[in-house]
Amino acid sequence: MSYLTKLSRSSGLITLAACSAMLATIPIDTALAGPSSPSSYQSSCRNISVAGATLTASCRRRNGTYNPTSILIRGIYNNDGNLRYTGSPTAASSYQSSCRSISVAGATLTASCRRINGTYNPTSILIRGIYNNDGNLRYS
SS3 labels along the chain: CCHHHHHHHHHHHHHHHHHHHHHHCCCCCHHHCCCCCECCHHHCEEEEEEECCEEEEEEECCCCCEEEEEEECECEEEECCEEEECCCCCCECCHHHCEEEEEEECCEEEEEEECCCCCEEEEEEECECEEEECCEEEEC
- Structural domain count, the chain: 1
* Cβ-contact 108, 73 below 8 angstroms: no
Q: Please determine, for residue 36, whether its predicted confidence score (pLDDT) is greater than 80.
A: no
pLDDT tier at 37 (50, 70, 90 boundaries)?
A: confident
- Parent domain of 66: 29-139
Q: What is the pTM of this model?
A: 0.74
- 14 within a domain of the structure (yes/no): no
Mean pLDDT score, 112-135: 97
**What is the per-residue pLDDT for 22?**
39
- 8 within a domain of the structure (yes/no): no
**What is the per-residue pLDDT for 61?**
98
Sheet with strand 54-60: strands edge to edge: 45-51, 54-60, 66-72
Mean of per-residue pLDDT scores for the chain: 83
- 17 within a domain of the structure (yes/no): no
- 94 within a domain of the structure (yes/no): yes
